[in-house]
Amino acid sequence: MAPAVDREGYWGPTTSTLDWCEENYALTQFVAEFWNTVSNLIMIVPPIFGAIQSIRDRLEKRYIAAYLALTVVGMGSWCFHMTLKYEMQLLDELPMIYSCCIFVYCMFECFKTKSSINYHLLFTLVLFSLIVTMIYLKVKEPIFHQVMYGMLVFTLVLRSIYIVTWNFRKRAPPILGVATQFHAWWHILTGLGSYLHILFSLYTRTLYLKYRPKVKFLFGMWPVIMFEPPRKH
Ligand SMILES: [Zn+2]
């Protein structure tokens, strides 16, 4: 499907089952899809700082895992779009499933006591990840991956709507108050969306645990969550 103008690059012929519409090796022979590669930085860098801050604030490990999982997706996506190799594509697509499972776990455990573990949910999500991984390695059908990923995102959206419209009604105000480069925009928007999703989940969770989370904007634009010391009873 690649257009005839595509050049041969450092990483050799494309072996991935998807090839995006960005012209291959147009800017440099070392990066197949330049904009689809660098746009992943938004998925890599901010979550690293989020994870460091979560460790400093002694938050539950699930939120450190959520941030780092997003970083892993960004790195996998970087490698995939840089090389257009099938193995790198898996490094992008499989962590998308795993990270979403972590987000689902966080969202459904927002209103539990601190450091409790839901083994049933944990088992279900690990099993789901394993089954999706095994099927996808066999069938190599991008549509299958997209449907499975879509299901997880749909679950997250439903849960978020539920939390915003029901649980917070009485508790506290919710925090919600270039033609071929579409896929790069997908990275930026999904990267931003996933990051904001973690913030939303973390805000809900820490508010429940009486941490007094505050949304601050670094440089007046980039949202992060800061904490004031927990309230004494
Ligand atoms: Zn991508």
| Interval 179-230: pLDDT, tens | 567 788 788 888 989 999 999 999 999 989 988 898 888 877 788 999 876 6
In terms of pLDDT, which residue wins out, 190 or 5?
190
Residues 125/54, Cβ–Cβ less than 8 Å: no
Q: Examine residue 145 and state whether it is found in any structural domain, yes or no.
A: yes
pLDDT of 177 reads: 41
Cα-to-centroid distance, 196 and ligand 1 (Å): 19
Q: Is the pTM higher than 0.85?
A: no
Query: Closest Cα to residue 192, out of 158, 221, 151, 163?
Result: 221
Cα-to-centroid distance, 77 and ligand 1 (Å): 5
Q: Residue 106: is it exposed, middle or buried by C-beta count within 10 angstroms (0-12/13-18/19+)?
A: buried
Same domain, residue pair 68 and 164: yes
pLDDT of 19 reads: 83
Do the annotations mark residue 19 as ligand-binding? yes
Q: Examine residue 12 and state whether it is found in any structural domain, yes or no.
A: no
Cα-to-centroid distance, 120 and ligand 1 (Å): 32
pLDDT of 24 reads: 84
The continuous run of DSSP H or E covering 216 comes out as: strand 213-218
| pLDDT above 70 for 3 | no
Do the annotations mark residue 187 as ligand-binding? yes
Same domain, residue pair 131 and 100: yes
Q: Which residues contact 207 (CB under 8 A, 6 or more apart)?
A: 171, 172, 213
Cα-to-centroid distance, 189 and ligand 1 (Å): 11
Give CA separation, 132 vs 138, 142, 148, 175, in Å: 10, 12, 8, 33
Q: Which residues contact 35 (CB under 8 A, 6 or more apart)?
A: 22, 178, 181, 184
Q: Examine residue 11 and state whether it is found in any structural domain, yes or no.
A: no
Same domain, residue pair 129 and 198: no
Do the annotations mark residue 233 as ligand-binding? no
In terms of pLDDT, which residue wins out, 105 or 159?
105
Averaged pLDDT for residues 158-184: 66
| pLDDT above 50 for 31 | yes
Do the annotations mark residue 81 as ligand-binding? yes
Same domain, residue pair 74 and 185: no
pLDDT of 73 reads: 96
Pair of tokens at residue 90: 């898996």
Q: Examine residue 50 and state whether it is found in any structural domain, yes or no.
A: yes
- What is the band of 176 on the pLDDT scale with cuts at 50, 70, 90? very low
Same domain, residue pair 169 and 185: no
Same domain, residue pair 143 and 192: no
Averaged pLDDT for residues 19-36: 85
Residues 199/205, Cβ–Cβ less than 8 Å: no
Same domain, residue pair 206 and 166: no
Same domain, residue pair 76 and 146: yes
Name which of 116-120, 170-174, 194-198 the model is least confident about. Answer: 170-174
Same domain, residue pair 161 and 192: no
Q: Which residues contact 75 (CB under 8 A, 6 or more apart)?
A: 40, 44, 91
Do the annotations mark residue 92 as ligand-binding? no
Averaged pLDDT for residues 140-144: 92
Domain boundary among 175, 201, 216: 175
Residues 22/180, Cβ–Cβ less than 8 Å: yes
Same domain, residue pair 100 and 193: no
Split into its structural domains, the chain has a count of 2
- Length of the chain, in residues: 233
Do the annotations mark residue 22 as ligand-binding? yes
Q: Examine residue 26 and state whether it is found in any structural domain, yes or no.
A: no
Contacts from 175-180 at CB under 8 Å and sequence distance 24+?
Answer: 175/199, 175/200, 175/203, 175/215, 176/200, 178/35, 180/21, 180/22, 180/23
pLDDT of 231 reads: 62
Cα-to-centroid distance, 56 and ligand 1 (Å): 31
Same domain, residue pair 99 and 145: yes
Find the domain containing 211 and state its range.
181-226
- What is the band of 233 on the pLDDT scale with cuts at 50, 70, 90? low
Same domain, residue pair 171 and 185: no
Q: Examine residue 130 and state whether it is found in any structural domain, yes or no.
A: yes
Q: What is the pLDDT of residues 65-101, one digit of tens each?
A: 999 999 999 999 999 999 999 999 999 999 999 999 9
Cα-to-centroid distance, 194 and ligand 1 (Å): 14
Domain boundary among 175, 191, 213: 175
Q: Which residues contact 168 (CB under 8 A, 6 or more apart)?
A: 174, 204
Q: Examine residue 193 and state whether it is found in any structural domain, yes or no.
A: yes
- What is the band of 14 on the pLDDT scale with cuts at 50, 70, 90? confident
Do the annotations mark residue 57 as ligand-binding? no
Q: What percent of the chain has pLDDT over 70?
A: 89
Q: Examine residue 87 and state whether it is found in any structural domain, yes or no.
A: yes
Query: Closest Cα to residue 6, out of 22, 15, 18?
Result: 22
pLDDT of 178 reads: 57
Average pLDDT, the chain: 87
Do the annotations mark residue 33 as ligand-binding? yes
